[in-house]
Amino acid sequence: MYEKLFSNKAVLNPVDPAFNNAAALAGLLDDHSATVVAALQISDEDYTYLKAELPDNNLSLSNLGILYRNSVLARKLGLIPRISFP
């Protein structure tokens, strides 16, 4: 799932090199927000809202997982209606 979302040239081309190795993620989420927004198909506003639920701003599998799960839940509940699907 990680590679399908974050290492997919159909989502973001070129792929953000920070996401090349899931085991070696480092840095801050905000420095890579464009990749996260594109991968999760959410708006910048939704990213800011969802990110507020994270324990920190680190780029980590844990935080990406939380963002993914919360974005899917929000979409299913109709809380993110402005997302467009290809």
In this structure, are residues 26 and 18 in contact, taking their beta carbons and an 8 Å threshold? yes
Q: What is the pLDDT of residue 82?
A: 52
Instruction: Read off the pLDDT band of 9 (50, 70, 90).
Output: confident
For 36-65, write each residue's pLDDT tens digit.
999 999 999 999 999 998 999 999 999 999
Q: Do residues 63 and 54 touch, judged by C-beta distance below 8 A?
A: yes
